[in-house]
Structure 1
């Protein structure tokens, strides 16, 4: 009987150890899912550097039954208001560029210059030599 009690005790210890490992793994996976969802929402919100997500208090993150972060968008809106330097502007830098002219700029002929402009252009040419 003592052998049977030891066997039962061994199985109980193993089961408790497996349950503890399982709950630890579930907590890690929930944290990874939350981090991935926050990253996706941060990209949508225009965050420049995703290292800014480290500033979010992990204890304040709640997951719903589907495993999604509750109010992730409002969390990032609040972060954008409190730490605007982590987010880019809504306007793209390429949108501010002016399109090139359809024809190359034409150089002016000496007859089209005023006397002062001609003297300045002549002086610039002489200095280059």
Structure 2
């Protein structure tokens, strides 16, 4: 009987050791996957910002810059991406097209940088026309 208990204890300790090794292995792999995901998101954000600022080839801009300090915050947003691309624009302006001013002041119809998307303006029923108010009311009642 004591041999059975000792055998079970050895088996239990081996199982615990194997479980601990598996846990460490899984945590390490999860950490690697998170880092790969963060890197992909940061890379995509930097490319999009470079394109927004008029980069000829956003991949080259990102490849040439030092973006190791750019990280995702707790909310998943990439912090300081626009300032890093602006710095790159100042240091290596040949990678970007020249900024154009609006058509009114330059005499051309070429616009400037694309605006950043923002939140749509909130609807104020007190300032809306009767027609807009009625349309919004029917949209609300229809559940859209």
TM-score normalised by L of structure 1: 0.67
Q: How much does 1:19 deviate?
A: 0.4
Distance 2:15 2:71 in 1: 41
Distance 1:7 1:76 in 2: 52
Q: Is 1:54 paired with 2:63?
A: yes
Distance 1:66 1:77 in 2: 23
Q: State the aligned residue count.
A: 95
Q: Of the two structures, which has the highest relative contact order with CA contacts closer than 8 Å and spacing of 6 or more?
A: 1
SS at match of 1:60: coil
Please identify runs of 4+ aligned residues in structure 1 that moved more than 3 A: none
| C-alpha distance after superposition, 1:31-71 (max 9, x if no partner) | 11000111111110101012221122132212222222212
Higher helix share: 1
The residue that corresponds to 1:110 in the other structure is none
Q: How much does 1:3 deviate?
A: 1.0
The residue that corresponds to 2:40 in the other structure is 32
The residue that corresponds to 2:74 in the other structure is 65
Where do 5+ consecutive residues of structure 1 fail to align?
96-129
Is the 8 Å Cα contact of residues 38 and 71 (structure 2) preserved in structure 1?
no
Q: Is 1:22 paired with 2:30?
A: yes
Q: Is 1:8 paired with 2:10?
A: no
Is the 8 Å Cα contact of residues 46 and 87 (structure 1) preserved in structure 2?
yes
Q: How much does 1:88 deviate?
A: 1.1
Distance 2:61 2:81 in 1: 14
Where do 5+ consecutive residues of structure 2 fail to align?
1-8, 101-108, 111-144
Equivalent residue for 2:87, pick from 73, 78, 82: 78
